[in-house]
Amino acid sequence: MKKINEVIKKVYGKYSEKVLQIGDGNFLRAFADWMIDEANEKGLYKGSIVVCAPFTGAKVKALNDQDCVYTLIMRGLKNEKPVSISRQITSISRAVKIKDDFETFLEIAENPDLEIVISNTTEAGIVYTPETHLTNECPKSFPAKMAVFLYKRYKTFKGLNDKGLIFLPCELNECNADLLKEYIIKFSKDFNYEESFFTWLNNANVFANTLVDRIVTGYPKDKKEIETIEKELGYKDDMLVASELYNLWIIEGGKDLENRLPFEKISANILWVKNILEYNSMKVRLLNGAHTSLICAAFLAGHQFVLDSMQDKIFNDYLHCVLFDEIMPTLDLPKKDLISFAKNVLERFENPYLKHSLLDIALNSCAKFNTRCIPSILQYCKRMQKPPEFLSFAFAAFIKFYQGKMKDGIYKGNREDGLAYDIRDSAEVIDFFNNLQSKNLDEKEIVSAVLSNKSFWSNMDLTLIENLAGSVENYLRQINKTSIKETLKRAVINYPIEKGE
């Protein structure tokens, strides 16, 4: 069978590179790249995307091998009927590994046509850890890389204001653009850039907070499924990516910014708002928080996909409890809006087309748990004067998931059924849990060590939250004594389930 680039003509990737994309993962290729491709098709933009991988660059070679052309399959239920839409994305010009080819990355800054920077480095990507920078040396963190990139652009164009960039970060950090800008400024000061650069940074560049929402499952894991898809398409596509139909991109900005971006007439769901915070908490806590509270427990119990978990009554009931009884009471939006959104979340999780790998979602779970679940836990404790039962269980399952051993340089866990799995997170997180495992501690000591690690929890010692450590310890002890599923089954049976009614 022919490869996709032997069948599909690359149409829009030959346009001038107007978009710098930091991240080569599935999400942006099924989200922002699709939107820009459609804007190109409608003649609204006429710009290509240069994809730059900030860290490992696992997909760079595969993208370049097929000329950066790939297929997006969007599937779901519409009017209660199954719908599947295929689209060939041809707007990516090339893919670059920043670490391996830092000089090429900086050359992109010299492009006068560059307008937009889109990023998705997960919540673990927008961080500030002081580091030095030597000429032509690639910095470690994403914000440090962007500080060097912007300085290169500033020097190239001698501080011209019309050469500033629009930053649209898609990481799920609250006020992601504000945070990214703050850290870029910190690194720029560390690198001793001149004062006039900071004036240009503030006046010429736009940092727009955004909120993204689309479930992206990536390349189908089932061999028979991909064979069927390729037969229907008529070509082989190693970078094929699957997603749900639903999409939402909320962007904080006024009419000036809206007029500069080409999204107003495409089929994507774009919402321009003046203040993104009220939307952020609802989406991150109810959708992403539900995901994160589910994945570790469901995987350890033997499930592979989100859909498998939702078809398990114990986990389905558990997620109802998390959403309606523990997360929803921490939010201040109208209850009918919260119920509607929560029910929508459950419907999306039960999309029969989506085989969203639990282990894939588990990437960088420590930062995700901090961003997506800890705010709900803290607010629940404050309002109810007690820790939430099921989010405490989720915390215990998270700790259990991270209990592993280093083998051949890879930190691995072992599931209850004996399956070994890779635990993928930052070096700091892996080192902490690996060292913790070597000390032969009991449940109380393990929970205390994890909850008191301020570097995980936005500089907070969670052992100071009354009864939280005890609740997490109780569930971790039950899990170790019986099993994940048996522990959860007992908790669900003894709890009244409202299901939002």
Sequence-ordered list of residues with C-beta below 8 angstroms from that of 25, at least 6 positions apart, any chain: 59, 120
Residue 498's pLDDT is what?
A: 52
Joined together, the tokens standing for residue 139 give 């910095």
Residue 55's pLDDT is what?
A: 80
Question: ∠ CA 493-498-501 to the nearest 5 degrees?
Answer: 155
249 closest CA partner among 417, 30, 18, 97: 30
CA distance 486 to 501: 27
Q: Is the Cβ–Cβ distance between 237 and 4 less than 8 Å?
A: yes
Q: Where are the domains of the chain?
A: 4-273, 277-493
CA distance 248 to 123: 19
What is the CATH architecture assignment of 4-273? 3-Layer(aba) Sandwich (3.40)
Give me the residue label for tokens 């893919």: 95
Joined together, the tokens standing for residue 22 give 């930091």
Walk along the chain (501 residues) and give the pLDDT tens digit of each residue.
999 999 999 999 999 999 999 999 999 999 999 999 999 999 999 999 999 998 877 899 999 999 999 999 999 888 778 899 999 999 999 999 999 999 999 999 999 999 999 999 987 899 999 998 877 789 999 999 999 999 999 999 999 999 999 999 999 888 999 999 999 999 999 999 999 999 999 999 999 999 999 989 899 888 999 999 999 999 999 999 999 999 999 999 988 888 888 887 898 989 898 889 878 889 999 999 999 999 999 999 999 999 999 999 999 999 999 999 999 999 988 899 899 889 989 988 988 888 789 999 999 999 999 999 999 999 999 999 999 999 999 999 999 999 999 999 999 999 989 999 999 999 999 999 999 999 999 999 999 999 999 999 999 999 999 999 999 999 999 999 999 999 999 999 877 655 444
Centroid of chain to Cα 345: 16
Q: Is the Cβ–Cβ distance between 298 and 364 less than 8 Å?
A: no
CA distance 284 to 293: 12
Residue 82's pLDDT is what?
A: 86
Joined together, the tokens standing for residue 49 give 């995307």
Joined together, the tokens standing for residue 326 give 């523990």
Give me the residue label for tokens 């991270």: 402
322 closest CA partner among 393, 370, 256: 393
Residue 459's pLDDT is what?
A: 96
Pairing mode, strands 248-252 and 210-213? antiparallel
- 277-493: CATH, from 1.10.1040.10, 1.20.140.10, 3.90.1180.10, 3.30.1330.10: 1.10.1040.10
CA distance 96 to 102: 9
